[in-house]
Amino acid sequence: MKKLKSLNIALAIFVFLNMIISNLLVAILGAFIIHLKMLPDWILTPVILPFIALLASLILGTSLSPIIGKKFIRPIKELIEATRVIAKGDFSVRVQERKQRNALDELKKSFNLMAEELGSIELLRRDFINNFSHEFKTPIVSIRGFAKRLQKNNITEEQRLEYTNIIIHEADRLSKMSANILLLSKLRNQQILNDKNEFFLDEQIRDCILLLEKQWSKKNINLDIQLDEIKYYTNEEMLSHVWINLLSNAIKFSSENSCITITCCKDSESVHVSISDQGIGISKNVINRIFDQFYQVDTSHSVEGNGLGLPLVKSIVELCHGTISVKSEVGAGSTFTVSLPVR
């Protein structure tokens, strides 16, 4: 609102200056002509002279407008041209900013910020489409390939079991991915959590740990569990997705015979749940992208995943009006901390 007011003042000053300059020039020119008696007496009468002065002022003012208005019009023309480039899908365009700050310069700054943000969104959109296509195409190709092998008559019983297990595994992977995408889409269009109830948060986390017993037992991972007894009120089923995803990631990226620490405590304002592992860690240059859809830290895809778990976690935590943070060091593991407001 302040910027718009400043722009209106600048335009008003422009019009005022144009009127003053043109009227002064007409007055000086008129005085010069009268002094030299270059016009007949009938034109210099009080009735006709004001009309001639007005006409001269209009002609002179119109002529001066492009010159005086050049300073005001050029930045607006630059913005119009840059907007046309943006409309064509080129988000690399920028308008030149000056050091002094007036309404037009603030408008330029806002335009450049908008173009930068649109460029980032477009990059994320392209990454999303590319990763989405890859993540869905891989299991489908795998299912198709092994289904064709099953049609052959010369395969052994052992091969048949192996192929069917792979097909089942890839089908489960597709099913899980589809469910996560649907849930993520639902959460991002949802403003509040429904179906809330009171439950013991520490007990819920223990249930999630037991649910994943097969995974952490297989890698002989030691669990250091420090959970305070805490009652909490929210959507219990939805919040369980947070702990399952964070625990699954901690197990997935941990080496064998390592340790995972799970803590839960409460202060006057928040409930804090931390899950720490001694895994591969996350580098600083990618840590800001781990909550993007389909983004995976392991670009080689040596570890199974589809890059939907952490975006899902973040969406649920934010719906609970909480926050999630991560501290990590390559080779030293990661710590994810979820802070939920005390009800």
Q: What is the pLDDT of residue 301?
A: 47
Q: Give the long-range contacts of residues 61-70, CB within 8 A, separation 24 or more.
A: 61/18, 61/19, 61/22, 64/18, 64/21, 64/22, 65/18, 68/14, 68/17, 68/18, 68/21, 69/14, 69/18
Do residue 239 and residue 288 come from a single domain?
Answer: yes
Q: State the Cα–Cα distance between residues 30 and 66, nearest whole angstrom.
A: 23
Contact 139, 170 (CB under 8 A): yes
Q: What is the pLDDT of residue 253?
A: 87
Tell me the HSE value of 202 on the side-chain side, using a 13 A CA sphere: 11
Q: Which domain holds residue 56?
A: 2-90
**Does residue 317 lie in a domain region?**
yes
**Does residue 286 lie in a domain region?**
yes
**Does residue 294 lie in a domain region?**
yes
pTM (predicted TM-score): 0.54
**Does residue 235 lie in a domain region?**
yes
Do residue 334 and residue 209 come from a single domain?
Answer: yes
Helices (H), 37-102: 48-87
Q: State the Cα–Cα distance between residues 140 and 147, nearest whole angstrom.
A: 11
- Amino acid letter, residue 194: N
Q: What is the pLDDT of residue 269?
A: 87
Residue 219 phi, psi dihedral angles, 5° rounding: -95, 5
**Does residue 99 lie in a domain region?**
no
Q: State the Cα–Cα distance between residues 312 and 178, nearest whole angstrom.
A: 13
Q: State the Cα–Cα distance between residues 21 and 212, nearest whole angstrom.
A: 82
Q: What is the pLDDT of residue 56?
A: 56
Q: What is the pLDDT of residue 288?
A: 77
* Per-residue pLDDT tens digits of the chain, which is 343 residues long: 444 455 455 555 555 555 665 555 556 655 655 555 555 554 554 545 555 555 555 565 555 556 555 666 677 777 788 888 888 877 788 887 776 666 667 777 888 888 877 776 676 566 556 656 666 777 788 888 888 888 888 888 888 898 898 888 888 878 777 776 767 666 666 666 777 889 999 999 999 999 889 889 999 999 999 999 999 998 888 898 899 889 998 998 888 899 999 999 998 889 999 999 988 888 887 777 777 766 665 554 445 555 677 888 888 898 888 999 989 888 888 999 999 998 6
**Does residue 85 lie in a domain region?**
yes
CATH number at residue 218: 3.30.565.10
CATH number at residue 158: 1.10.287.130
Do residue 331 and residue 201 come from a single domain?
Answer: yes
What are the C-alpha distances in Å from 156 to residues 147, 150, 166, 234?
15, 10, 15, 52
What are the C-alpha distances in Å from 317 to residues 133, 243, 321, 341?
27, 11, 6, 10
Q: What is the pLDDT of residue 204?
A: 93
Number of domains, the chain? 3
Q: State the Cα–Cα distance between residues 228 and 202, nearest whole angstrom.
A: 7
